Chains A and B, each alone.
Chain A
Amino acid sequence: MPTTITETPADVVILGVGYMSGVIAAELSDPLLNNGKAYSVVAITKGPYWDYVNDFSTTKYDEWGVGLGRKYDSPLPLQSTTIRNTPYQFALPVRRYTMPIQYHALGHGVGGAAQHYGGTMGRQGPWGYQMLSQTNTRYPGTIDTINPHNDLQDWPLQYYQYEPYYVQWENAHGLCGNYNGSTDNPGSDSSGYPWMSQNYRLPPHPLTPAAQLFQSTVQSAPFNYHPFPHVNALASQPYVNQYGVPVNPCVYDGYCGGLCDYACETGAKANAAYRTIPAAMKNGNFTLVVNSFIFRLDTDPTSGLVTAARYYDPQGNVHIQQGKVFFNGMWGYNMIRIMLLSGVGAPYVWKSDPTMVSGTVGRGMTNGYSPYRGTNVSGTLSNIGGNAYPAGNAGGGSVDIYDLMDDNFDHKNLGFIGGSQIGVGGYPGGGPGNITFAGGVSSASMGGTFKATQKDKYLQTKTVLSSTPFAPDLPTTDNYVDLDPHYTDIYGDPLARLTYDWTPNMYVGATYLATKVKDIFTAMGASNVTVSNTVLPGAVHNDWWGHHLRGGCRIGTDPTWSVWDKWNQCWSPTVKTPFNIFGAGEITNTSGDTVPSGTHVAGPQSYRAAEGIKQYLGLMTPGLVP
């Protein structure tokens, strides 16, 4: 008979153990970082503890098991998600992981979603924090036309205020790069965008021949752009972070992308399991609870404060974990779902009239990643070949420019704002599934003619360039997350329901940016440079959600539209505010351009939240940290 077990109360209870939670665990459990106070910290995850050396090093070279069998991933029978384009539709559940990869319920266990991301990083510049006010100042009166049912907002802090937190985040995770520009590349130093007080901790990975060609092309006339080596969280050298956690470098084995799903067997690719959780574990007052599914937060009916997290263990027992302060570090819509299930914060209520919407939890969701099979520019470099197989992933080996993003070019009368980071020359990576069929098969994938196209596919005599530029998805009142009325998880609680369609800014911007990329590819000497743009209203393929949901649980300047304040602390507009819950993650990003990494933008918030939690624990009475 399953029973109810009351656990020893803790000072800090962490929900989910991913990138952001790792920082909270490391920062709050170390007495040296808390004026000698040894806070007790408990972190709870639904998945297992991955010992990458033993779990991945001998089993990950297996595209079928990892990519299709999803042996490292969150099981869909446990919980899925339903999706639809408009509030008028019946949302269908995601029933299976297929290729192209479905990142629903992506992360599982310690390390979370970061177990299965490429490691791409890159800071968000100052513009991304003030998109609304910057647009209203420079292009007054245009935002409502550009983005119907606009719900775009500014962040509570500006870039320079987050900059110190960026440095902490980059130190903890061992990022590779050479500023956003290189001393080998004087042109880019004059840009210095976005400004950095400290260089990335490790040098960039070796550039591929295609990347070098891109670099020399774009820094010359007529472009005069500012290229720099791609930034990623994939250690290029051995490294020890500020918590004393040692890091192994990348071994370039090639089993990274596509069906391999980025499971890293050396720990070169950063995630909490390899960078911050080991630090917390050394502190002695940190407890890691694995294979435990959090299903409710209890609240005090008088004060509104969160009192405990309830979770199921694998035997079905209910555990009650009380705490003084809680950190919601769950991934994506799971962060929203646990709050909606528990009545914490004000649930978003959609109305067709954007002035009549209310609530905050679930509101303002955007997609921070590329529309799959959307805009694409491709071309062929016939003079550069190479091996398709070896790889450090995360776009390692590539070169990027920021010149076509943010407001780094004049947007007057263009009909969109923002732009896209453009990168060329990453290692191909992935196994044969990745190249031959992982992108999906069609009627053309049959017979001897198609078979012939696959011969020696991995021994490339030329390089295919490909880029999918698009302008950022902007928050509207029509894209949101709520609870599904029909489908439930294995325990009988409603699934998260996503209502989403592309916003015009994405595809209007894509059309413009594609022509710019076409010019670059042509100047590089590529042949057959082709542009396709199929990102149109209603053309969204919701099966490609990307793993970069941004917003939906935003930080902000006003509790009428944001869940969290400038300390990532809950401040719902209700009378009884659960002040003692904090949250950070990609979905707390208020807005942003098509930056390389929403995770990198979320990272500083985890350090900000850690500071906020420390201050909250010092308050005499519960309330907002000043």
Chain B
Amino acid sequence: MVDQTRREFLKLGLAAAASAVTASAIEIPMFGSQNSSMQTQLNNANTQVANLKNRVNTIVGFISLNITEQSLLEKIVETIIPTDADPGAKEAGVIYFIDRALAGDYGQSANMFMDGPHILPRIPASTTAPLSINPTLSWATNPYIPGASTSPISYIGGSVVTPGSGTQGITATPRVGSGINYQYPLNMREFWRIGLDALQKYAKDPNGAYKGPFESLSSTNQLTLLQDLWGDKPTSFNNIRPSDFAYELTFMTWAGFLMDPIYGGNQNMVGWTYTGFNGVNFGNFYGEGKDQKALMVATTPTRLKPASLAQYQQQASGSA
């Protein structure tokens, strides 16, 4: 409880500093009026705190997504996890999670193997002209690139291709999202830039099914459009496979809803409250007195108020 109070103070301090720069829109009244009752003063203070909290949210800001991407992605994540009687992607701040991920290791593909040659899977095999690969030209064999060469290129060192089998990687269609599925010569930030742009183009396509910006579509059409991507319906998609992008959108949205708040999403642990997950409350974080070993073999569930990694670390460091 002490910690929460301290964080509250820090937030207020931050907001006050910001307001000093922008305008004098926020003023913290002194408890000066001797005529006001304490209750009125308290109410006033609470209102001010609520206002400040709103203000805090408006100054979070973005560090990777540009204005166009923000408005589009906001609607996409809210389509994937809509707000109903319970909080959704919006309340969890999923877009902030994605924004920060794109600015960090995920966006930079810092932990990915990015060396060439880059050869896309799922290139159809041909029994008459065995597919072969020239690493320097392989990108051009992407079937999703309009006008890409369809004539096979020789792969030096390749040998006979068994009719009907795949010619590279694995015989089966790689599962979307698998480690060998992503073979693009792009880091994730570029992939998202290209993907979001392609998605919007697909939505706006005057000859397409939607004919308008994604943000303007009905919620039903928004969901249907995302389903189109999963089904690889768009025939033109900035040279990436639509389902590959749909995978990243869906995966990262759920991650933003359910991963620890330190990464910018799952704000106020709304995702954990919704799923009934305990976070790092192992039964006694708030003094509930539950024994983890007993919970483990129980036949009925016990709801625990979640705790976050930051709370845990503060407690562990002895500041509680």
Q: Does B44 contact A (CB under 8 A)?
A: no
**Contact pick for A62, options B114, B251, B301, B309, CB 8 Å:** B309
User: Which residues in A have their C-beta under 8 angstroms from that of B309?
Assistant: 59, 61-62
User: Could you give 10 example pairs across A and B, Cβ below 8 Å?
Assistant: A59-B309, A69-B106, A83-B169, A90-B169, A94-B113, A96-B113, A390-B282, A437-B250, A454-B274, A457-B276
User: Which residues in B have their C-beta under 8 angstroms from that of A86?
Assistant: 162, 165, 171
Q: Does A207 contact B (CB under 8 A)?
A: yes
Contact at B111–A97, with CB atoms within 8 Å?
yes
> Roughly how many angstroms separate A77 CA and B112 CA in the complex, as a whole number?
6
Contact at A542–B180, with CB atoms within 8 Å?
yes
**Contact pick for A443, options B110, B133, B231, CB 8 Å:** B231
Contact at A94–B179, with CB atoms within 8 Å?
yes
Q: Does A285 contact B (CB under 8 A)?
A: no
User: Which residues in B have their C-beta under 8 angstroms from that of A459?
Assistant: 276, 301-303
Q: Which of A84-133 contact B (CB under 8 A)?
A: 84-86, 88-99, 102, 104
Q: Does B148 contact A (CB under 8 A)?
A: no
**Contact pick for B295, options A102, A390, A442, A540, CB 8 Å:** A390
> Roughly how many angstroms separate A386 CA and B113 CA in the complex, as a whole number?
41
Which residues of B approach A to under 8 Å, CB–CB? 79-82, 84, 86, 88, 105-106, 109-115, 117, 119, 121, 133, 135, 155, 157-162, 165-172, 174-183, 223, 226-227, 230-231, 246-247, 250-251, 254-255, 258-260, 262-263, 271-272, 274-280, 282-283, 292-293, 295-304, 309, 312-313, 316-317
**Contact pick for A447, options B82, B114, B172, B175, CB 8 Å:** B82
Which partner residue on chain B sits nearest A103 by CB separation? B179
Which partner residue on chain B sits nearest A373 by CB separation? B175
If A84-B169, A432-B277 touch, does A58 touch B316 (CB 8 Å cutoff)? Answer: yes
Contact at A485–B157, with CB atoms within 8 Å?
yes
Contact at B168–A432, with CB atoms within 8 Å?
no
Q: Which of A515-546 contact B (CB under 8 A)?
A: 538-543
Q: Does A68 contact B (CB under 8 A)?
A: yes
If A390-B283, A451-B82, A486-B135 touch, does A88 touch B159 (CB 8 Å cutoff)? Answer: yes
> Roughly how many angstroms separate A460 CA and B255 CA in the complex, as a whole number?
21
| CB proximity of A499 to chain B, nearest CB, Å | 11
Which partner residue on chain B sits nearest A384 by CB separation? B299
**Contact pick for B112, options A92, A96, A433, CB 8 Å:** A96
> Roughly how many angstroms separate A448 CA and B85 CA in the complex, as a whole number?
11
Q: Does A214 contact B (CB under 8 A)?
A: no
| CB proximity of A207 to chain B, nearest CB, Å | 7
If A446-B79, A539-B172 touch, does A461 touch B301 (CB 8 Å cutoff)? Answer: yes
Contact at B112–A253, with CB atoms within 8 Å?
no
User: Which residues in A have their C-beta under 8 angstroms from that of B258?
Assistant: 63, 431-433, 436-437
Contact at B260–A62, with CB atoms within 8 Å?
yes
User: Which residues in B have their C-beta under 8 angstroms from that of A460?
Assistant: 301
> Roughly how many angstroms separate A387 CA and B121 CA in the complex, as a whole number?
41
> Roughly how many angstroms separate A77 CA and B166 CA in the complex, as a whole number?
27
Q: Does A341 contact B (CB under 8 A)?
A: no
> Roughly how many angstroms separate A443 CA and B176 CA in the complex, as a whole number?
11
User: Which residues in B have their C-beta under 8 angstroms from that of A388?
Assistant: 276, 301
Contact at A442–B230, with CB atoms within 8 Å?
yes
Q: Which of A452-496 contact B (CB under 8 A)?
A: 454-461, 485-488
Contact at B301–A70, with CB atoms within 8 Å?
no
Among A59, A435, A454, the one with the most B-chain Cβ atoms within 10 Å of its Cβ is A454
Contact at A433–B259, with CB atoms within 8 Å?
yes
Which partner residue on chain A sits nearest B160 by CB separation? A88
Contact at A458–B179, with CB atoms within 8 Å?
no
**Contact pick for B251, options A75, A206, A441, CB 8 Å:** A441
Contact at A448–B119, with CB atoms within 8 Å?
no
Contact at A209–B297, with CB atoms within 8 Å?
yes
If A76-B112, A451-B82 touch, does A98 touch B275 (CB 8 Å cutoff)? Answer: no
Which partner residue on chain A sits nearest B115 by CB separation? A487
- Complex A-B, nearest 4 residue pairs according to Cβ-Cβ distance, in ascending order: A543-B178, A443-B230, A90-B168, A538-B171
**Contact pick for A84, options B133, B168, B182, B275, CB 8 Å:** B168
Contact at B174–A543, with CB atoms within 8 Å?
yes
User: Which residues in A have their C-beta under 8 angstroms from that of B279?
Assistant: 61
If A387-B302, A436-B254, A454-B275 touch, does A95 touch B180 (CB 8 Å cutoff)? Answer: yes
User: Which residues in B have their C-beta under 8 angstroms from that of A251?
Assistant: 282, 292
If A61-B260, A446-B79, A451-B88 touch, does A385 touch B114 (CB 8 Å cutoff)? Answer: no
Contact at B295–A88, with CB atoms within 8 Å?
no
Contact at B299–A93, with CB atoms within 8 Å?
no
Contact at A77–B114, with CB atoms within 8 Å?
yes
User: Which residues in A have their C-beta under 8 angstroms from that of B119?
Assistant: 90, 92
Which partner residue on chain B sits nearest A445 by CB separation? B250
User: Which residues in B have their C-beta under 8 angstroms from that of A209?
Assistant: 297, 299
Q: Does A578 contact B (CB under 8 A)?
A: no
User: Which residues in A have their C-beta under 8 angstroms from that of B296?
Assistant: 206, 208, 252, 387, 390-392, 397, 427
User: Which residues in B have their C-beta under 8 angstroms from that of A543?
Assistant: 174-175, 178-181
Among A384, A391, A456, A458, the one with the most B-chain Cβ atoms within 10 Å of its Cβ is A458
| CB proximity of A131 to chain B, nearest CB, Å | 27
Which partner residue on chain B sits nearest A212 by CB separation? B297
Contact at A541–B175, with CB atoms within 8 Å?
yes
| CB proximity of B190 to chain A, nearest CB, Å | 14
User: Which residues in B have their C-beta under 8 angstroms from that of A448?
Assistant: 82, 84
Contact at B115–A488, with CB atoms within 8 Å?
yes
> Roughly how many angstroms separate A102 CA and B111 CA in the complex, as a whole number?
13
Q: Does A501 contact B (CB under 8 A)?
A: yes
User: Which residues in A have their C-beta under 8 angstroms from that of B161?
Assistant: 88
User: Which residues in B have their C-beta under 8 angstroms from that of A461?
Assistant: 300-301
User: Which residues in A have their C-beta under 8 angstroms from that of B159?
Assistant: 88
User: Which residues in B have their C-beta under 8 angstroms from that of A206?
Assistant: 293, 296-297
Q: Which of A166-201 contact B (CB under 8 A)?
A: none
User: Which residues in A have their C-beta under 8 angstroms from that of B313?
Assistant: 58
Contact at A97–B276, with CB atoms within 8 Å?
no
Among A62, A89, A385, A538, the one with the most B-chain Cβ atoms within 10 Å of its Cβ is A89
User: Which residues in B have their C-beta under 8 angstroms from that of A579?
Assistant: none
> Roughly how many angstroms separate A390 CA and B277 CA in the complex, as a whole number?
10
| CB proximity of B86 to chain A, nearest CB, Å | 7
**Contact pick for B277, options A427, A458, A539, A542, CB 8 Å:** A458
Which partner residue on chain B sits nearest A391 by CB separation? B296
User: Which residues in A have their C-beta under 8 angstroms from that of B226?
Assistant: 443, 446
User: Which residues in B have their C-beta under 8 angstroms from that of A433?
Assistant: 254-255, 258-259
| CB proximity of B250 to chain A, nearest CB, Å | 4
| CB proximity of A58 to chain B, nearest CB, Å | 5
Among B79, B88, B155, B292, the one with the most A-chain Cβ atoms within 10 Å of its Cβ is B292
Contact at A445–B312, with CB atoms within 8 Å?
no
| CB proximity of A547 to chain B, nearest CB, Å | 14
Which partner residue on chain B sits nearest A541 by CB separation? B175
Among A397, A447, A501, the one with the most B-chain Cβ atoms within 10 Å of its Cβ is A447
Contact at A389–B277, with CB atoms within 8 Å?
yes
Q: Does A223 contact B (CB under 8 A)?
A: no
Q: Does A139 contact B (CB under 8 A)?
A: no
| CB proximity of A456 to chain B, nearest CB, Å | 4
> Roughly how many angstroms separate A427 CA and B258 CA in the complex, as a whole number?
21
**Contact pick for A538, options B165, B223, B250, B283, CB 8 Å:** B165
| CB proximity of A524 to chain B, nearest CB, Å | 15
> Roughly how many angstroms separate A436 CA and B171 CA in the complex, as a whole number?
28
Among A104, A387, A486, the one with the most B-chain Cβ atoms within 10 Å of its Cβ is A387
Contact at B295–A387, with CB atoms within 8 Å?
yes
User: Which residues in A have their C-beta under 8 angstroms from that of B177?
Assistant: 98-99, 440-441
Among B117, B259, B293, the one with the most A-chain Cβ atoms within 10 Å of its Cβ is B259
Contact at A441–B293, with CB atoms within 8 Å?
no
> Roughly how many angstroms separate A206 CA and B295 CA in the complex, as a whole number?
11
Q: Which of A242-271 contact B (CB under 8 A)?
A: 251-255
User: Which residues in A have their C-beta under 8 angstroms from that of B133?
Assistant: 90
Which partner residue on chain A sits nearest B312 by CB separation? A61
Q: Which of A379-417 contact B (CB under 8 A)?
A: 384-392, 397
Contact at B274–A83, with CB atoms within 8 Å?
no
> Roughly how many angstroms separate A436 CA and B117 CA in the complex, as a whole number?
34
If A96-B179, A206-B297, A441-B247 touch, does A77 touch B155 (CB 8 Å cutoff)? Answer: no
